[in-house]
Structure 1
Amino acid sequence: MNERHYLLKGTFLLTVAGLLTRAAGFFYKIFLSRTIGAAEIGRFQLTFPVLAFCSALSCGGIQTAVSRFTAEYYAEKDQKSAIRILACALFLSITLSTVCCAALFGGSLWLATYFLLEPSCAPLLQIIAFSLPFSAIHGCLNGFFIGKKNIPVSAASQLIEQLLRITAVMLFYMIFKKSGRTANANIMALGQLAGELAAALFCIYHLVFGKHQLQEEQMASPALSVIRRHSFFRLIRRDTKKTLAVSAPLGLSRMLLCVLQGIEAALLPQMLGQFGHSSLDALAVYGTLTGMALPLLMFPTAVTSAIGTLLLPAVSEARALNQDKKITDTINASFQGSLLLGYFFLTGFLLFGNDLGTLLFHSSLAGVFTRKLALLCPFVYINTTLISVLHGMGKTAAASVWNTAGFCVRLLCILFLVPDIGIDGYFIGMLVSQAFIVVCSLITLHRAVGFTASLTDALLKPALLCILCGAGLTALRLFCPRFSVPSWGGTLLLAVLFGISFLIPCFFLLPQSMLPQKLLRHSRFASTKNHGTRRS
């Protein structure tokens, strides 16, 4: 019961932090779109794959290893080993991040010219390079706090990183404007550096001045003093091997995805150029897509990520107990719940996509992209939960293979479709790749536990409800001139009407697809079974 309470509380805190972070980032993108423009946002977005690759190399898998070993050692009341693992991980991560920082700073022009195919990104890479060591420190310490169940510090560090990033960008924008200089993507890179620095300092403060006492020695000194009392260097080889055994496979998998993302980021503007866009127009299209439309589309994934966090341990426990029926019921509940959420936002973005693009970003193109990308919602939201289920069942290799294969499908569509039909070719690639991952994941689950989705409950009923709600609101907009012109008041009123007309019938037509009810049934079932076991 204590473990369940911790899981729910931790998931709630991380979900709230994630929602607040995404909300702040959402308005941050609105601020950027109205100040530096879509082209500069696109130029900064081009550097993300390089930054992600360096982060994956320096601390991607190490953070996971720290969380795992810290949880194990604290469960065994062996805080010394937990802190030694943390010190070893910090040594590895800071060393790797420093090497990446030097390489990225020195090779920024080459990377920008020959890898990103955009020489103007070189100054951005040089600024971002200095954020890598701080990001490594933040990642390791964040993993340590999660492992020792100090979720509030982890959640607070996310918020501090985002808030300091946004504050720094706004300050640099005012400084540039006051000095008569034109603000560009450099202020975003400086904000990235400020955010990582603030998060690292926050975590260091809580590590040094937090309560990490060793119970057997009743020490009141900070945690780092433990390292001075023991022969750390004698054990560093063993701890390094132990850490690398867990972190290396995860890091390699993430680096492969980062390479594919980098290829995608470099290819897409070039293929848009072959379609007929100028270099500046291609960057503007890319910036509108990645900096405006996609963040809006991905905002609801905070909910599915929280569901996935709950599903992973539940599936792992049921798998250990060979409870295939419970696994199947849990998969069915998560599948239907995520699909229902996807249908809801699919209809919402189709109805209000143009309004959101105009009202939020002052960009009609962002609205067009949002409506076209709306078809992705069911697949993206389902994938979030299905991948979590696969990880919980020990199918990590299968999940990695499907994700990589799906990404390759997107790259093929960029190469062969975008030069002929423009950005729509990329949209097709995203849709096909996400559908491919869903199908492969469902096949894997069917072979593992015999899971089969109900066509009527999962597809037909939600689709019919979407059609009815969409047709009703479309008719209202056609016959009521007040709602034909985008405005905050009219859009909010229509959104409320849409939410009521969609969600209320779900409680009557689709009660079996509501995820909380399913999880509640599973919890009661598990509780009843535990009581029965104790009595017997």
Structure 2
Amino acid sequence: MSKKSLVTGTLILTLASLITRLLGFGFRIYQSQVMGAEGMGLYQLLFPIYMLLWAASSAGIAMAIAKMVAAEVSKGAEGNAIRVLKISLVISLPLSFVLSTSLFCFAPFIARYYIQEPVTELSLRILAACVPFMSTACCLRGYFQGHQEMSITALAQIVEQVGRMLIIYLLAGLMVPMGITYICALGVIGMCTGEVFSFMMSYIAFRIKKRHLTLTPATLPKKEAFNKLMALSIPVTANRFLTSGLQSFENILIPITLGQYGLSSSAALGLYGQFSGMALPLLFFPSMVTSSLATALVPAISEAVAMKNKALLQRTMSKAIQFSALIGIGATALFLTLPYEIAITCYGMKEVGQLLKWLAIICPFLYLQNILTGAMNGLGMQKQTFKTNVMGSLICIALILLMVPRRGIIGFVIAMLIQSGFVCSMLLSYVLKNIDLPVDIRNWIIRPSLAGILCSLITLTINKLYLIKLFSSSVSTILAVLILGGSYTLILFFIGCLSIKDVKSFLGSR
């Protein structure tokens, strides 16, 4: 790994994530207005099915391709890298067609008895069409990741989002008047179009790259390539499929248990749509930095382990945890300070603001979980991560069944908090123990919390005394968010929680 590969990879993925999320977030506002809360609720119920398909057809094989291609490219064996890609397509394409056909045929059963919403049958059958495109695109992106060409993955994310936005915008006027079945299908058509666009872009990029390569003869036996791909991909696929299945079950339980709480089917779907389709995307928006950092941490930590450089490993991990804490606590301050203002500005719905306020305390755990998962992967501790995530999901499912029928949506918020706290505590204990990392309570918790409290007080005061009197609601909210972010950052530097040296040492010490 080159000296600046960690920062370069992180910055490229973060920039792509920023562009994608800005596009997606702006479009989600439009989508929520077009589809309504109930339509968004149905669409969000289908998303876990999409993630199951991705886990089964793409998750493991893409990772395996990246590892094997990286190994072959490091030896100058580009012909072998191409062979790995071809063998992966031989594996993934038939599997994707089996999954696609199965989903199409069993859509009525899944809609009625698993999702328990028969109106999703049409959407499931449309979703089935995108599986081969998704699988092929993931294989191609795995090839580029093996070359450490993160820009292709980044561009594919942007193209996918643009394709999704474009088709929904064009078809909204036609399908929305046709009723809730077609409103839900509209969201799935957008999802499928995004996958097709991503595949087209990845394929074109591959064809262009191949023309400029000096191909060496392939010396890696096909059987050996096949066996290695299967050995690497099957454990990851099984892990991702099980965890995605548990998460899917969690999501489907929510509207069901909200019905047990006393809400009608329409009201339960609407509340679930506000929660998962509106509040959670806002909550996860700042996590683009930690997600990108977690992706780049895997090779960085793996290299430090291989070099047996304990000091570098500890320094890298400590700063990663600290930056995650700063972002998580800052996000908590933001959503506790301006929940209703943000919700009204984005969706025109004050109810979403209440959900944001409840969820705000979970931010540090959610963001830290990204970092710790990346660290665990870099340390080769995927089994422990898998066991912890499964235990966390089982705890969450039990709490949903116990609390949501009695407490409503706040019961699920409590379940999420307990689950996130448990998973983070377990993963953190594994990381601290394996690299002998001391806990820096002052810089990880105390100082960021102090900065969060101070910036909240400053923002509330300025917003109340000046902004809401001088500007419109939307403008005052945007200015308040900027003031909170700016004051938080300045306070962090002022109290010594963050310094230019810290940033440079983390980004450039390699």
1:82 is aligned to: 81
- Against the structure 1 CA distance between its residues 381 and 484, is the aligned structure 2 distance closer, same or farther, given a 3 Å change threshold? farther
Q: Structure 1, residues 298-353: CA drift from partner, whole Å, max 9, x if none?
A: 01111112222343333222222333233223222222221111111111111111
2:147 is aligned to: 148
Q: Distance in 1 between matches of 2:470 and 2:116?
A: 43
**2:315 partner amino acid:** D
What percent of counterpart residues are identical?
A: 29
Among 293, 308, 322, the residue aligned to 1:322: 308
1:293 is aligned to: 279
Q: Distance in 2 between matches of 1:497 and 1:209?
A: 45
Question: RCO higher in 1 or 2 (8 Å CA, sep ≥ 6)?
Answer: 2
1:190 is aligned to: 189
Larger Rg: 1
Q: Distance in 2 between matches of 1:263 and 1:524?
A: 43
Q: How much has 1:454 moved relative to structure 2?
A: 2.4
1:453 is aligned to: 439
Aligned length: 508
Q: How much has 1:168 moved relative to structure 2?
A: 0.6
Q: Structure 1, residues 353-393: CA drift from partner, whole Å, max 9, x if none?
A: 11111111111111111111110111111111122122222
Q: Distance in 2 between matches of 1:169 and 1:450?
A: 51
Q: How much has 1:96 moved relative to structure 2?
A: 0.5
Q: Distance in 2 between matches of 1:464 and 1:31?
A: 37
1:534 is aligned to: none
Among 388, 392, 395, the residue aligned to 1:409: 395
Alignment of 1:375-524 (within 5 A): 375-477=361-463, 482=468, 487-511=473-497, 513=498, 517-518=501-502, 520-521=504-505
- SS of corresponding position for 1:215: coil
Q: How much has 1:247 moved relative to structure 2?
A: 0.3
43-52 or 235-244, larger mean C-alpha shift: 235-244
- SS of corresponding position for 1:37: helix
323-332 or 475-484, larger mean C-alpha shift: 475-484
- SS of corresponding position for 1:4: coil
- Does the CA-based 8 Å contact 1:402-1:441 persist in structure 2? yes
Q: Distance in 2 between matches of 1:266 and 1:484?
A: 45
Q: Structure 1, residues 388-447: CA drift from partner, whole Å, max 9, x if none?
A: 122222222222222222222211110101011011011011111111122112211232
**1:67 partner amino acid:** A
Aligned pair 1:363/2:343, yes or no? no
- Against the structure 1 CA distance between its residues 455 and 171, is the aligned structure 2 distance closer, same or farther, given a 3 Å change threshold? same
1:210 is aligned to: 209
Q: Distance in 2 between matches of 1:362 and 1:524?
A: 43
**1:146 partner amino acid:** Q
- Against the structure 1 CA distance between its residues 172 and 366, is the aligned structure 2 distance closer, same or farther, given a 3 Å change threshold? same
Q: How much has 1:476 moved relative to structure 2?
A: 4.5
1:221 is aligned to: none
**2:304 partner amino acid:** A
Alignment of 1:232-271 (within 5 A): 235-271=221-257
- Against the structure 1 CA distance between its residues 289 and 260, is the aligned structure 2 distance closer, same or farther, given a 3 Å change threshold? same
Q: Distance in 1 between matches of 2:99 and 2:463?
A: 54
- Against the structure 1 CA distance between its residues 285 and 485, is the aligned structure 2 distance closer, same or farther, given a 3 Å change threshold? farther
**2:119 partner amino acid:** S
Unaligned 5+ segments in structure 1 are: 218-225, 527-536
Q: How much has 1:253 moved relative to structure 2?
A: 0.4
1:105 is aligned to: 104
Q: How much has 1:483 moved relative to structure 2?
A: 5.4
Alignment of 1:165-176 (within 5 A): 165-176=164-175
- Against the structure 1 CA distance between its residues 176 and 299, is the aligned structure 2 distance closer, same or farther, given a 3 Å change threshold? same
Aligned pair 1:70/2:69, yes or no? yes
Q: How much has 1:262 moved relative to structure 2?
A: 1.7
TM-score (norm: length of structure 2)? 0.93
**1:150 partner amino acid:** E
- Against the structure 1 CA distance between its residues 486 and 146, is the aligned structure 2 distance closer, same or farther, given a 3 Å change threshold? same
Q: Structure 1, residues 235-286: CA drift from partner, whole Å, max 9, x if none?
A: 5443322211000000000000111012112211110001011101111111
Q: Distance in 2 between matches of 1:524 and 1:11?
A: 12
